Structure 1
Amino acid sequence: MKKAVVALSLLLLGSCQYFDKKVPSEEELLQKRRAEINMDEVSSYPSIGECDSVMDKEQKKECFFSSMTRLVQERLDADTLLLLYPEIDTIQLKVTIFPDATLAFETEFPKDSVGYDRTKIDSLLRSRLSDFPAVEPASKEGIPVKSQFILPVIINVE
């Protein structure tokens, strides 16, 4: 019996070398995971309430941008901006969505737009867009991140 136990022990000890594999370090695993993540693209785009039912990533993105454009245009349609600057037909609106779901709007002016009173236009836009509906921020690997985009807003001249 002793010989069987000794033989079995030697067999088990000798076979441990086949199971001994190098365990990757935490740093190696971290570098591998970072290489897998595409840093140029978010996992999910920002979302607005009316687009929550859409499941496809690209359709949700389109729904978000069309909803944002529509909401901004509705708020700016019958505005004094048309009276002050009738030559403006499109505004490039830089929208920033922060991880805490707050929004910031800035107007992007063309290089040759020296005749516009930027502060007046910005204050007008801020007042019109102050009570904007809640927007869920974009996320990267489940973590909310800051996102920015330019939204072309066509001002109706009706």
Structure 2
Amino acid sequence: MKHYYLILVIVLFASCQYFEKQVPSEKELLQKELKAINWNEVDEYPSIIDCDMIDNKKQRQQCFFEVLTRLIQEKLSIDTLFVLIPKLDTIEVKVTIFPNATMQFEPQFPTDSVVYDRTKIDSILKVRLVDFPKINPAIKHGIPVKTQFILPVILKGE
């Protein structure tokens, strides 16, 4: 009877090889993970010191957009942009935040707009939109990433 148990144990251990599962390759796992990632959303939106204390992701994002819009409006309100182009009351600014925390601003114009002197507006924006507080870039899977968004900025005349 002892030999019977010994043979049974040997057969069970030898038969384990028939139950082995196919392990996917590293490339297959990587492709599966890359397909599962939503590339249109970030884990953490860009942030500014004024909004870092907010825990809610959506509220922090809203705070960031409000603070950045206010800062841009303040910097442009001291200029004569609204005097040069009185019909222009709102300008859309494309903001790009790079992974190294640098920013780029680019005015967006309507496609049918030939009235505006684009180079003049662009040069005014480049001169005025400097010296912002430190902005932390967006985070995707623990890595800083480039983000772009368009902010409507109301030009206030005095």
For 1:65, the equivalent position in structure 2 comes to: 65
**Secondary structure of the corresponding residue to residue 152 of structure 2:** strand
The letter for the 2-side match of 1:137 is P
Name stretches of at least 5 consecutive residues in structure 1 with no aligned partner.
none
Superposed counterparts of 1:45-124, under 5 Å:
45-124=45-124
- TM-score, scaled to structure 1: 0.88
**Secondary structure of the corresponding residue to residue 139 of structure 1:** strand
Name stretches of at least 5 consecutive residues in structure 2 with no aligned partner.
none
CA apart distance, 1:85: 1.2
For 1:39, the equivalent position in structure 2 comes to: 39
- TM-score, scaled to structure 2: 0.88
Distance 1:71 1:147 in 2: 19
1:70-123, CA deviations, whole angstroms, 9 ceiling, x for partnerless residues?
A: 110111113111221111100110111111111111111122332322222111
For 2:139, the equivalent position in structure 1 comes to: 139
Distance 1:58 1:10 in 2: 60
Distance 2:50 2:18 in 1: 58
Distance 1:115 1:7 in 2: 93
The count of residues paired between Structure 1 and Structure 2 equals: 157
Q: Percent identity?
A: 59
Question: Which consecutive segments of 4 or more residues in structure 1 shift more than 4 A?
Answer: 2-6
Distance 2:28 2:119 in 1: 51
For 1:29, the equivalent position in structure 2 comes to: 29
Distance 1:27 1:121 in 2: 49
RMSD over equivalenced CA pairs, Å = 2.1
The letter for the 1-side match of 2:77 is D
